[in-house]
Amino acid sequence: MTFSRTLLVSFIAGALFGLGLIVSGMANPAKVTGFLDLAGAWDPSLALVMAGAIGVGLFGFGLTRNRSTTLFTGEALHLPDNRRIDHRVILGSLAFGVGWGLAGICPGPAIVALVLAPGQVWPFVLAMLVGFWLHGWLEGRAAPRC
Amino acid sequence: MTIDWTSFTPWSALLGGALIGIAASLLALGAGRIAGISGIVGGLVGGKAARWQLAFVAGLLIAPLGWLMLALMPAFVLEAGPGMQIVAGLLVGIGTRYANGCTSGHGVCGLSRLSLRSLVAVLAFMGAGFVTVYLLRHALIA
């Protein structure tokens, strides 16, 4: 009973997330590269996407601070508490940023774009999935999720 | 720097961003999980997907399907050809897993939780993104 409610919440959150990516323009690669192109005709929209998301998130995640269980089901929260700033988070993010700049696609929009324009975006999505798999293979086993 | 006012869409950006923030907050408060897409989809690829991860990805796929069923096609322009997409996809896939997060996990969730580790990640991938697009559009192409 509680388990299925967790699944329902996860499904609704996924749908709202996908809707947000489409409405915000994040699902359009040209919109993303327009933001990353500081030296060209700069489109600041993506900064406002982040501002909107973090503005709501500060409130929502603020509510998790004094809780140890979920709101509707009373199950344990699984929020990461890793504070380590090491070569992994820096080099990994730099590599991600280069890929993000090359195509204008990050993982969320990649999944949404696979539905919107599969014929165009499949090489990126396939390579991204191979990249996920390669990481797991190189690590021997899957790293903790974030 | 010149702002491209014709492409700037402040209201839909803020509204879409707020929806993303609501989704991430809902998943954290209601399911106790971080809405980090690289971690969630990476979990599916690893063959060790939890059921909540499958449910979240199903929702993520339903949104654009619903959009298309209303006969709306959102603007979608992808300039990168297949070769560049493959290089980009590999970098995004491996990089986000090593960093343990991407635009959603570190960018939205991490910054909302005031995580210094996530701020470092965001500055690194945004910085790398800015430099990459600069090189691609203004330095390497005459």
**Is B3 among the domain residues?**
no
Distance from C-alpha of A125 to C-alpha of B57, rounded to nearest angstrom: 14
Neighbours of B77 (CB within 10 A): 13
Q: ipTM for the complex?
A: 0.95
What residues make up the domain containing B97?
15-139
Distance from C-alpha of A94 to C-alpha of A90, rounded to nearest angstrom: 6
Nearest residue on chain A to B21, alpha-carbon basis: A53
SS3 state at B110: helix
**Is B9 among the domain residues?**
no
Q: Tell me which chain B residues have a C-beta less than 8 angstroms from the C-beta of A74.
A: none
Check CB contact of B140 with chain A, cutoff 8 Å. no
Q: Are A101 and B108 in contact (CB under 8 A)?
A: no
**Is B6 among the domain residues?**
no
Give the count of domains, chain B: 1
Rg of chain A over all Cα atoms, to the nearest angstrom: 18
The phi and psi torsions of B2 (rounded to 5 degrees) equal: -120, 130
Which residues numbered 95-114 in B keep a CB inside 8 Å of some CB on A? 95-109, 111-113
**Is B45 among the domain residues?**
yes
pLDDT truncated to tens, each residue of chain B (142 aa)?
799 999 999 999 999 999 999 999 999 999 999 999 999 999 888 777 899 999 999 999 999 999 999 978 889 999 999 999 999 999 999 999 999 999 999 999 999 999 999 999 999 999 999 999 999 999 876 5
The phi and psi torsions of A69 (rounded to 5 degrees) equal: -130, 160
Angle (nearest 5°) at CA B36 between A29 and A93: 65
**Is B57 among the domain residues?**
yes
Angle (nearest 5°) at CA A76 between A70 and A77: 70
